[in-house]
Chains A and B, each alone.
Chain A
Amino acid sequence: MNLTTALARLLIFPGLLFAVPAAWFFLWVERKSVAMMQGRIGPPFMQPTLDFVKLLGKSTPSRMGIEGWLMRAWPLIAVSSAAGAVALLPVLPSSGGFEGDLILLLALLELPSVCIIAAGFTSRSIFGEIGSAREAALAVAYNVVFLLAVVSIAAAQHTFRLDALAQMPNTPLRWLGIAAMLVCLPAKLHINPFSLPNAEQEIYSGPMVEYAGPELAMWELSHGLEWVTATGLVAALVAPHVPMVWLAGPVFVALSFAIVLLLSVLAAATARLAIDTSVRFYWQCTLIFAVLAISSALILRMRT
């Protein structure tokens, strides 16, 4: 393990120096494309960045004791885990450095969602608690499908190492797993039709209701980084194997961009579903595909 390469991956590409501008860019792409599909012009290019800087300059309500500490800690944990997850993505083939495995990546990917749930309950607002309860129910629903899909890909490849997973051969099984992961992304990113944990008009943006100023800015950033990680994970699995190292980065960015556009089309075309419908969707409709993927992976493994 080479420390310099590990730091370069964490801080430069695909780490912070790439991920933070990419997070703002993807947030802008999502808002802009939804606006264009609705026949509007939409926000200017730098809008998420301007929002972030403005939030940094706002005051926050004073909170005492352990509640205040926790309220400040949750968004920071969410941002750092999302940034760590981006750095783990297998973008550059066999670049050395710290090679975390799939289990670490999934844990880091899940941590922002856990922080959101905790933040809603810490805020002690009734709207925050409802939002957290919804987020928890949704996480239980989509994570079964998401994890089964990821595990099916890992089982087919006999490994949890990320760079080995990224170079998986082109089998129908791989595409089944990727399709099941794609279905889970809208719920993971809280966009329509699964935007119910942070529903603005019903429950005053749910777990975020009591957050203001720099803390809210951190939540916005962690949401953007979640976009980069979640789309990046699928992009890294979809990406064809390119021999040139310099081409791997642009291919990854282009594929992530395409997935962001796909999700934006879905968000613009649908309305928010109720919690029971969302949970039923994941447990009844998509679970079949995930179970199919993992069972065929296991059968294939037994035959070989």
Chain B
Amino acid sequence: MNLWNRMMCFCRRKSPWLFHMNSGSCNGCDIELVASLSPRYDAEQLGIRLEGSPRHADILCITGPVTKNSVNAIKTVYCQVCGPKAVVAIGSCPATTNVFIDSRTLAGPLNKHIPVDVFVPGCPPRPDAIIQGVAKAAEILAERSAAQSAVPAVQEPECAEAIAAESGEVHS
């Protein structure tokens, strides 16, 4: 690995920007995610920044059990995040659909729809667990960037499908 790549890996590990997405969560995990940025936990020490737009983000944080309504939105937002990217599923809901299991309004768990890199279990997980999960995802991001060429080829068909589904929904 040359010097530029090594520096890029270092920067990716040190500067994870998050985009937070709610897929039908009860708001418990969302509050804990915001709490991790508060003075007590201060995630900004690790360079973590909550961004407004998925285009700016490196790490997509998804909370909630993935309702049927939110599936297309999740796929669209996942495709809007520019590579290299990682996904963190926050809470037990996106991992297992939790207490909502077998509900007819759900299409979860999350990894049926997009590849998930880190699961942070808990209902809700503590802010320090969330920060640890994000730090882990940033490590994965840095490792993945070393072998960058393989990633976009895997993701593109999914993205095309998601964008087609989205535009179909708009027209109908």
A→B interface (CB under 8 Å):
31, 35, 38-44, 46-47, 50-51, 53-54, 57-61, 127, 199-201, 203-205, 208-213, 216
Q: Contact between B44 and A31 (Cβ–Cβ < 8 Å)?
A: yes
Give the interface residue-count category, chain B: 20 to 34
Stretch at the interface among B6-14, B23-31, B61-69, B88-96: B6-14
Residue B15 contacts which of A31, A42, A50, A204 (CB distance < 8 angstroms)? A50
Which residues of chain A have C-beta atoms less than 8 A from B121's C-beta?
none
Q: Compute how far the CA of A209 lies from the CA of B56 in the bound complex, rounded to whole angstroms.
A: 8
Say yes or no: is B161 at the interface (Cβ < 8 Å to chain A).
no
Q: Contact between B53 and A204 (Cβ–Cβ < 8 Å)?
A: yes
Which residues of chain A have C-beta atoms less than 8 A from B14's C-beta?
44, 46-47, 50, 54
Q: Which residue of B lies closest to A61 (CB)?
A: B82
Q: Closest CB-CB distance, B33 to chain A, in whole Å? A: 13
Q: Contact between B47 and A58 (Cβ–Cβ < 8 Å)?
A: no
Which residues of chain A have C-beta atoms less than 8 A from B80's C-beta?
61
Q: Contact between B12 and A57 (Cβ–Cβ < 8 Å)?
A: yes
Say yes or no: is B51 at the interface (Cβ < 8 Å to chain A).
yes
Residue B39 contacts which of A38, A127, A205 (CB distance < 8 angstroms)? A38
Q: Which residue of B lies closest to A219 (CB)?
A: B56
Q: List 6 A-B contacts (CB under 8 A).
A: A35-B44, A38-B39, A43-B47, A47-B15, A54-B14, A208-B56
Report B29-63 CB contacts with A as 1/0, cut-off 8 Å: 00000000001001011010111110110100000
Q: Contact between B47 and A47 (Cβ–Cβ < 8 Å)?
A: yes
Q: Contact between A61 and B39 (Cβ–Cβ < 8 Å)?
A: no
B→A interface (CB under 8 Å):
7-8, 10-12, 14-15, 17, 39, 42, 44-45, 47, 49-53, 55-56, 58, 80, 82-84, 145, 152
Q: Compute how far the CA of A205 lies from the CA of B58 in the bound complex, rounded to whole angstroms.
A: 16
Q: Compute how far the CA of A18 lies from the CA of B42 in the bound complex, rounded to whole angstroms.
A: 31
Residue B55 contacts which of A41, A44, A203, A210 (CB distance < 8 angstroms)? A210
Q: Closest CB-CB distance, A25 to chain B, in whole Å? A: 16
Residue B58 contacts which of A38, A40, A58, A127 (CB distance < 8 angstroms)? A58
Which residues of chain B have C-beta atoms less than 8 A from A212's C-beta?
55-56, 82
Q: Contact between A205 and B51 (Cβ–Cβ < 8 Å)?
A: yes
Q: Contact between A51 and B47 (Cβ–Cβ < 8 Å)?
A: yes
Q: Contact between B58 and A57 (Cβ–Cβ < 8 Å)?
A: no
Q: Contact between A200 and B51 (Cβ–Cβ < 8 Å)?
A: yes
Q: Contact between A41 and B42 (Cβ–Cβ < 8 Å)?
A: yes
Residue B8 contacts which of A31, A46, A57, A213 (CB distance < 8 angstroms)? A57
Q: Closest CB-CB distance, B52 to chain A, in whole Å? A: 4
Q: Which residue of A lies closest to B141 (CB)?
A: A54
Q: Contact between B42 and A40 (Cβ–Cβ < 8 Å)?
A: yes
Contacts A54-B15, A213-B82; A42 near B45 (Cβ below 8 A):
yes
Given A43-B44, A58-B82, A210-B55, 9 new contacts (CB under 8 A): A38-B39, A44-B45, A46-B14, A50-B11, A53-B11, A61-B80, A203-B52, A208-B53, A216-B55
Q: Contact between A209 and B39 (Cβ–Cβ < 8 Å)?
A: no
Q: Which residue of A lies closest to B38 (CB)?
A: A40
Residue B45 contacts which of A41, A59, A200, A201 (CB distance < 8 angstroms)? A41
Which residues of chain A have C-beta atoms less than 8 A from B55's C-beta?
61, 209-212, 216
Which residues of chain B have C-beta atoms less than 8 A from A50's C-beta?
10-11, 14-15, 47
Q: Which residue of A lies closest to B17 (CB)?
A: A51
